Structure 1
Amino acid sequence: MSDAPPTTPPIPTADPLSTRALRTARGWDARHWLRESDGGLLALALLVGAGAAGLAIVFRLLIHLFTELLSGHADYAADPGADNHWVPWLGPYFVLLAPVAAGLVYGPLVRYFAPEARGHGVPEVMYAVAQRGGRIRPQVAGVKALASALCIGGGGSVGREGPIVQIGSALGSTLGGVARLSEARLRVLVACGAAGGIAATFNAPLAGVFFAMELILADFAAQSFGMVVLAAVTSSAIARAALGDEPFLALPDFVLAHRWEFVLVAVLGALAGVVGVAFTRILYAIEDLCDRVWRGPEWLRPAVGGLALGALLLALPEMYGVGYPVLGNAVDGRYAVGFLLVLLVGKMIATSLTIGIGGSGGVFAPSLFLGAMLGAAFGEVAGRFSGGDVSQVGTYALIGMGAVFAGSARAPITAVVILFELTGEYSIILPMMVAIVLATGVSHRLSADTIYTLKLRRRGIDLARPELIRPTRRIADLMVPVPEPVREGERLVDVADRLAASGAGVLPVVDAAGVFRGTVTARSAAQQLASGSHDADPVSLVAGWTVRLRSDETLADGLAALERSGAAAVPVHGPVGSDAEDEVVGWLTYQATLAAPALR
């Protein structure tokens, strides 16, 4: 006999045939068609576009519902300082309580179900595409929709674009995961979801396309571009059928009256670049301040911080919610220069505070708001010094909107396209491009990061320089061999010693056919033995796994899975799309993660 130690037998899957054998046996395989063919990717892109439209419609309805419930108005910013008809005896002071009430609901929702739904959303999608192969947890879509709608409805001074990008992207990732797509194709579906969400929410399909390509994928490959365009068009068509064909902002026609005003446009562009960088720095400075001040549980942070936000809303009720009515008034020239500057500074603080206390919402709409205030103020001043011989205030406000967004997000193509879609006025394109290019250049000179990438850099991730990104340790590098499984029919008393000696106190359980059923822990076995059930079948104590940890996931994913399980070890399955995706290929323990060599 050989002296070699016995090896642990692999845990077989339910079907002994491999995935390829199944394809051959069945002939045409729908899942294989979706996974491998251009036609399959096209079908999924259309499905993601339609789904993103549906989610965007639901999201907008949720915002309207929660705004009505918490403020008593369809949009409180349209009538700032008014009473809430649900609690008229509170007068305008209800704004002190609205953010608190919203925070008490969405705080625990985000903390316990999807922590990545906190904040403005786009950096999380960028990270998922760049570092996680496009994988986003399915529950993010629902949690983000509810949390952001509650936050905005409760007075949070944030926008809709960040949430809908994350919601649509999560949908694309989920459908791609179900179809078991490769990482490259999964990333395309994530971009399709982002584009569809933007297109449906703002009735701007071109802006959705370029937002997804410029910021999410950072790639204009022909196939990706085509799929994203189809998803955006599908989403926009469905949203227009349901919500109407009006843009999210109704703006009059604008033209530049004199060619010499290009000089003024250039100055405005440079100022917008400065404002965009200032917005970015104030946002993260206030977020850091909130982190230093807060010492309580994270789920309670939005509610307690809501008191500070409510105080700001009491002083400046125009900051309630997204603020499109206020933006429209600025474009129409209804505010004096001094008040425009107050609104500009107030929006920076209100948005930053909303994010800092743990709120959920985007920064795209706030950047447009800031640009409108800056541009309108600039136009008013220019008109006074020129004796009124300049273009109307709204022209400068419109240019400022695109320029400040470009200065903060550094996405010049998206900035030009979305403002063109808002106005449909080609004559505004040339001055808009001048301002946007200068704003982007000034922003680049003042800061290495955008409002989106700075959040990632603070985590040690520089998407602009992949060679500097710290290597990510994969589960495949850390997992240990699968221990000998507990088999159906064994007496619990007979496997107790093996559980105790397993180190982690967790063993896999297989049924009579050898199919993995879950895990059994020493704690559950001890409790059963203490009750006198020595002959219990271990299968009755199985803890099932609804979310599988896979060998190509990261150490962070593994630690999260260990934390959710409450056990000291979890099973590891093969990568999605591989022949081993239904097999247990390894075992991850806390000891293995702690013993892993440090990343350099």
Structure 2
Amino acid sequence: MVNLKQKLALRLNPMRFGASHFRRRLAYNDALPQISFLGFVSGVAAALVIVAFRSLFEIPLEHWLPGGTAESFENLDPIWYFFLPVIGGLLIGLWLMLFAPGERKAGVAHVMDRMAYHQAKMPIKNTIVQFIGGSLAILTGQSAGREGPAVHLGSAVSSQLASAFHLPNNSVRLMVGCGTAGAIAASFNTPMAGVIFAMEVVMLEYSIMGFTPVIIAAVTATLLHNNLYGAEMAFMAPDISMADMREMPLILVYGVVLGAMAALFTKTVTSIQNFASQPVLARMLVAGTFTGALAYFVPQVMGMGTDSILMAIEGQYAIGLLVALAFAKLFATAISVGLGMPIGLIGPTLLMGACAGSALGHISGYVLDGPTSDAGFYAMLGMGAMMSAVLQAPLAALIGLMELTHNPGIILPGMATIVIANISCSYFFKQDSVFIEVLRKQGLDYQANPITQALNHQGVISLMHDDVSHHYDDDIAGYLSVADLGVSWLIINNRDDQVDHVLHQSQIHLDQSSSMGLIEGAGSPTVAFGFCSSRATLKEAWDLCKKRDYKQLLITDVDGSIMGVLPVEEIVKYMQKD
């Protein structure tokens, strides 16, 4: 009975519900209640920022454009097909000139860069650039998607919340993943695709502990966004399916064609990046002018393109327009992204695939004898294949295709087309994910090393020894008293209260009558030590130890006080454990 009361008292201790205990628990990779709460917070934050972002451009467009929707740019007077993107390029260029080159980086590639090299800490100025720059691009009819800015904004607001509350860096990374999932889920009303996109494209990992908060974030963001903004789908695809299994060989051939198109898109983006050193105003004007020139002949290239996707699926475009729109969208988007315009590319990728797939569907009617599937069926296959090959994310593409079309009949042929397109793009044409290729062009390498991921999952507090005691070198009595209490680590300060040595209790051999100091009693060791923030991950601690050849790290709290000691051997043991 006494033990039960003691356990209950321990569980209900008010200290367990404080901010300090919450932050400390997050350093461990089994803090499921805490990270689940963070997933909920990230989902709410992502939904709110996506609602604000969409409202900034959709409400004005619905009032300005003749068709009364945010996508009806083709209903404008033809002169605006050219001049609106040019004016947009000018405005975006002037906006970007207000910021330093490093502050202009935006989009999914920027999120991945911050995840890999900056512990997922997202700068506020880049977020402002993305919010305004992305809105200007969509408002002025650039060939742009909203999901790239959405991922940046959802990730950034989650990261900045984590930093504001001094959460450990392993939690910041997780919240960025949650923000990514929430942003994709809210933008397209596709919570499953949001989860898989975050894990497959940005975080590059699958784990039970990672899935749980990311799922919570996606569900929360979708529900809140739908309540605030409406639960409409991006488009309502008709219920069509494959007419005959004899079409499968041709579908596989089309997978190769779509993989080649994806490779062309990625290669164009990275080739245009060679002009990144040119003045930003000139680059934005070139991007706007190129888009405007294409839009003058193919006005459907303007905007996000969800209305054109539906038209392609419903078979309302002739084969000539489908081919022209597919390649116009490809080059307009690739050149704009390569020149640094803060836009998304997933939406345009879906339109490219829908148009190319629909065109190939028309061709099937001439090639095959007997019944063939509707061109809209091929358009849906093209959407999944193009998205998968460009992002090198087959599972995210398949799940997204299912959620966008609500058509289970698409699964089998969709899987086949997606796999073939992926293999063609990566193996035959040597193109990785467009985001990874963009980062490589910037001199950055984005790899998912299992050991690195494991070290990033836990904070330094999880392996830290907190049984420490501070002493001066001649404090023999103090040492003996804490030794009786089982304190293992002694921090030896000089008279200026600066740390001189870090000693383990087992190193010291003294008694009350000894005339030696603690350092001499430990054999005057010369073990290198350094300081590390309690917010750091084990990866940061390991990198610091390797760089400075530290054998011990003193872990400091947010106020600078020493919380404990982390010997480098503990990190080595963690990496070597099964």
Please give the TM-score of this superposition, normalised by the length of structure 1: 0.69
CA contact (8 A) 1:158 1:321 kept: yes
Amino acid at match of 1:383: G
1:120/1:363 contact within 8 Å kept: no
Q: Distance in 2 between matches of 1:552 and 1:457?
A: 29
Cα pair 2:168 2:535 within 8 Å, conserved: no
**Hey, what does 1:270 align to over in structure 2?**
256
Counterpart residue identity of residue 341, structure 1: V
In structure 2, the residue matched to 1:457 is 440
The corresponding residue for 1:52 is: 46
Distance in 1 between residues matched to 2:341 and 2:384, nearest whole Å = 25
CA deviation after TM superposition for structure 1 residue 466, in Å: 5.9
Q: Indicate if the aligned counterparts of 1:98 and 1:155 stay in contact, CA closer than 8 A.
A: yes
Paired residue for 1:179, among 153, 161, 165?
Answer: 165
Kindly indicate whether residue 22 of structure 2 is the aligned counterpart of residue 29 of structure 1.
Answer: no
Letter in 2 for 1:455: V
State how far apart, in whole Å, the 2-side matches of 1:168 and 1:552 are.
22
Q: Give the 5 Å matches for 1:55-70.
A: 55-67=49-61
Cα distance in 1 for partners of 2:169, 2:15 equals 26
Residue-by-residue CA offset, 1:269-312 (whole Å, 9 max, x unaligned): 12111111111112222343x547x4xx4256424643343222
Matched residues in 2 for 1:45 and 1:432: separation? 31
Which of residues 288, 308, 323 is equivalent to 2:305? 323
Partner amino acid for 2:190? A
Indicate if the aligned counterparts of 1:333 and 1:376 stay in contact, CA closer than 8 A.
Answer: yes
1:119 CA displacement: 6.5
Q: How many Å separate the matches in 1 of 2:101 and 2:49?
A: 20
Cα distance change on mapping 1:215 and 1:314 into 2, 3 Å: same
Name 2:137's counterpart in structure 1: 151
Displacement after TM superposition at 1:174 (Å): 0.7
**Partners of 1:425 and 1:447 in 2: how far apart?**
32
Aligned pair count? 446
Q: Within 2, Cα distance between the matches of 1:337 and 1:388? A: 20
Q: Answer yes or no: is the 8 Å Cα contact 1:52–1:168 preserved in 2.
A: yes
What are the equivalent positions in structure 2 for 1:540-555 lying under 5 Å apart? none
Separation (CA, whole Å) in 2 of partners of 1:451 and 1:388: 39
Partner of 1:350: 332
In structure 1, what residue type is equivalent to 2:321?
Answer: F
Amino acid at match of 1:384: Y
Q: Is 2:416 aligned against 1:430?
A: no
- Give the conservation status (yes or no) of the 8 Å contact 2:119–2:172: yes
**Bigger mean CA deviation after superposition, 387-396 or 270-279:** 387-396
By how many angstroms is 1:26 displaced? 7.1
1:160 aligned residue (121, 146, 153): 146
The reply to whether residue 137 of structure 1 matches residue 119 of structure 2 is: no
Change (3 A) 1:61 1:344: same
CA RMSD in angstroms, aligned pairs only: 3.0
Q: Residue 110 of structure 2 is aligned with which of 113, 119, 124?
A: 124
Flag the 1:161–1:411 CA change in 2: closer, same or farther, 3 A: same
Contact 2:390 2:433 in 1 (8 A): yes
Give the Cα separation in 2 of the matches to 1:283 and 1:71.
Answer: 30
Distance 1:78 1:179 in 2: 43
Q: Which of residues 235, 254, 257 is equivalent to 1:249?
A: 235
Counterpart residue type for residue 432 of structure 2: D
Aligned counterparts of 2:287 and 2:245: Cα–Cα separation in 1: 49
Question: What corresponds to 2:551 in structure 1?
Answer: none
What CA distance in whole angstroms lies between the structure 1 residues aligned with 2:40 and 2:555?
25
Quote the Cα distance in structure 2 between the aligned partners of 1:99 and 1:404: 25
Letter in 2 for 1:413: L
Residue in structure 2 matching 1:579, options 541, 548, 556: 556
Q: SS at 2:151's partner residue?
A: helix
Query: 1:499 — aligned with what?
Result: none
Post-superposition CA distance 1:29-76 (Å, at most 9, x none): 224314524333222211110110111111111121453577565557
- Out of 232, 236, 256, the position equivalent to 2:222 is 236
Equivalent position amino acid for 1:174 in 2: Q
Q: Report how far residue 207 of structure 1 moved.
A: 0.4
SS at match of 2:44: helix
Q: Distance in 2 between matches of 1:328 and 1:359?
A: 26
Q: Which amino acid aligns with 2:250?
A: L
Residue equivalent to 1:375: 357
